Amino acid sequence: MTRRVFLIVLDSAGVGALPDAHLYGDAGSNTLGNLAAVRGGLNLPHLGRLGLGKIVELRGVEAPKTPLGAYGKMAEKSPGKDTTTGHWEMMGIVLPHPFPTYPNGFPPEIIQEFEQQIGRRILGNKAASGTAIIEELGKEHMATGYPIVYTSADSVFQIAAHEEIIPIDEFYRMCEIAREMLKGEHGVGRVIARPFIGTPGSFTRTARRHDYSLTPPGPTVLDFISASGREVIAVGKINDIFVGQGITGSRPTEDNRDGISTVLELMDDDFDGLCFVNLVDFDMHYGHRNDVEGYARALEDFDAYLPRIMETMKPGDVLVLTADHGCDPTTPSTDHSREYVPVLVYGEEILPIPVGVRKSFADLGLTVAELLGVAVEDISGRSFASLIRRMPE
């Protein structure tokens, strides 16, 4: 039986448009494939050996005849293409309806109530790039003390504030107020605190971002794992996405390298269960900014760490790599893209075979539970654990 699973989400590393991508304005999106083509190749030898090149054609990445582990891709069954939807579905919550979005800004009644509750006016209230809007409105924000509210193509209510203008505790309280307000009809997937520092013309967002998600509408695979007595350790923004539900320990991180270092530390610890990791830099720093070279370097940086991660694994450990959506940096859009996501599974008990095209991200959560020997009930999806597990001789 698997003792530990290290599930690492390479945030936004999609591998091709889903059949309904055109309904989301994402026809032709292929985050990794287009990235490799436009950049002129990717140097990902270790991801290649795990089978990434057999999932999606990537210039510069070989597709070995026999990879080191199981490989395939997954389609998102829920409507949408945002972080919360992707992670929730991974753990068994398939949404019947998408979270609400506000391409023209939030309705007056929402803004007026928010202003009344925080005792200040707001700036913005439109869909915008996070870095662009603080450059546009940061100077006025510093002069007035009014927080900047904006959204995107995703279901988010984002609030930006300078750390020297609105103290961080007060700023977080504003976000909590917004989260309490935005439920039901206006229940956005996430309220996001976006603190920044600096002066006009040289603003920089800080690592004190905080996500306030809705509570999952029912039990997830995480609940069943933790209820069985196993640990569920969240690394990065995973704890925020699930509002702590089903999680026994949380390790916030500043960036990808911090997340990888945390994974390596946890591999040396003695725990049984799931380590669930989100590496956000691909999406936050590069995908949303259409930074092809930055995205490519971040992937290559992660690939360079892979041998150490794999060598640090203990007997009974399984490593799973996947993504939650796409964010193709080669397209005009700076928003998420509706794509298939890769799934790579490696460990001494894992067979090097294809798992095909899974019909739901939920298949992965059920697979993780079955590998750990945890029974779940009323969770959507189909496990592929029996397909990939090497039988004892």
Q: How do residues 112-169 score in pLDDT, each as one tens digit?
A: 999 999 999 999 999 998 999 999 999 999 999 999 999 998 899 999 999 999 999 9
Are 99 and 186 in contact, with CB atoms under 8 Å apart?
A: no
Query: At 127, phi and psi to the nearest 5?
Result: -80, 130
Same domain for 265 and 368, yes or no, is: yes
What is the identity of the amino acid at 285?
A: H
Give all strands (DSSP E) within the chain, no chain letters: 4-10, 70-74, 123-127, 148-151, 156-162, 190-197, 204-205, 210-213, 231-235, 249-251, 273-279, 317-322, 341-346, 354-358
Same domain for 144 and 232, yes or no, is: no
The residue count for the chain: 393
| Percent of the residues in the chain that have a pLDDT greater than 70, as a whole number | 99
Long-range contacts of 243-246 (CB under 8 A, 24+ apart): 243/213, 243/214, 243/215, 243/216, 245/215, 245/216, 245/220, 246/91, 246/219, 246/220, 246/221, 246/222
Beta-carbon contacts of 199 under 8 Å, excluding residues fewer than 6 positions away, are: none
Residue 393 has what pLDDT? 57
How many structural domains compose the chain? 2
- In a domain, residue 11? The reply is yes
- In a domain, residue 103? The reply is no
Same domain for 340 and 366, yes or no, is: yes
- In a domain, residue 149? The reply is yes
User: Rounded to a whole number, what is the distance in angstroms from the first to the last CA of the chain?
Assistant: 14
Same domain for 246 and 381, yes or no, is: yes
Listed residues 181, 213, 245: the one ending a domain: 213
Give bridge partners of residue 319 from the DSSP assignment.
6, 346
Give bridge partners of residue 366 from the DSSP assignment.
none
Same domain for 241 and 318, yes or no, is: yes
Query: At 318, phi and psi to the nearest 5?
Result: -130, 135
CATH assignment at residue 81: 3.40.720.10
- In a domain, residue 34? The reply is yes
Mean local confidence (pLDDT), 87-113: 96
Residue 322 has what pLDDT? 98
Instruction: Quote the tokens at residue 368.
Output: 């993780």
Same domain for 40 and 130, yes or no, is: no
Q: Which of 201, 272, 277, 204 is nearest to 234 (CA)?
A: 277
- In a domain, residue 164? The reply is yes
Listed residues 168, 198, 213: the one ending a domain: 213
Three-state DSSP state, 29: coil
Q: Do strands 148-151 and 156-162 pair parallel, antiparallel, or not at all (unpaired)?
A: antiparallel
Q: Which of 18, 25, 5, 9 is nearest to 331 (CA)?
A: 25
Residue 392 has what pLDDT? 65
Instruction: Quote the tokens at residue 194.
Output: 């976006």
Residue 380 has what pLDDT? 86
Listed residues 185, 213, 241: the one ending a domain: 213
Give bridge partners of residue 210 from the DSSP assignment.
193
Beta-carbon contacts of 241 under 8 Å, excluding residues fewer than 6 positions away, are: 83, 84, 87, 88, 190, 211, 213, 278
Instruction: Quote the tokens at residue 8.
Output: 């690492």
Same domain for 315 and 276, yes or no, is: yes
Q: Which pLDDT band holds residue 86 (cuts at 50, 70, 90)?
A: very high
Q: Which pLDDT band holds residue 178 (cuts at 50, 70, 90)?
A: very high
Same domain for 240 and 327, yes or no, is: yes
Q: What is the per-residue pLDDT across 8-36, written as a single tens digit (0 to 9) for each?
A: 999 999 999 999 999 999 999 999 999 99
Place of tokens 């990065």: 236
Mean local confidence (pLDDT), 240-250: 97
Q: What range does the domain containing 78 cover?
A: 4-98+217-388
CATH assignment at residue 161: 3.30.70.1250
pTM score = 0.91
Separation of alpha carbons 66 and 50, rounded Å: 9
Mean local confidence (pLDDT), 197-208: 94
Beta-carbon contacts of 77 under 8 Å, excluding residues fewer than 6 positions away, are: 89, 94, 359, 360, 361, 362, 380
Same domain for 244 and 343, yes or no, is: yes
Three-state DSSP state, 76: coil
Residue 224 has what pLDDT? 98
Instruction: Quote the tokens at residue 261.
Output: 């270092």
Give bridge partners of residue 150 from the DSSP assignment.
126, 158
Q: Which pLDDT band holds residue 390 (cuts at 50, 70, 90)?
A: confident
Mean local confidence (pLDDT), 90-117: 96
Separation of alpha carbons 43 and 178, rounded Å: 43
Same domain for 174 and 56, yes or no, is: no
Same domain for 251 and 223, yes or no, is: yes
Same domain for 44 and 193, yes or no, is: no
- In a domain, residue 393? The reply is no
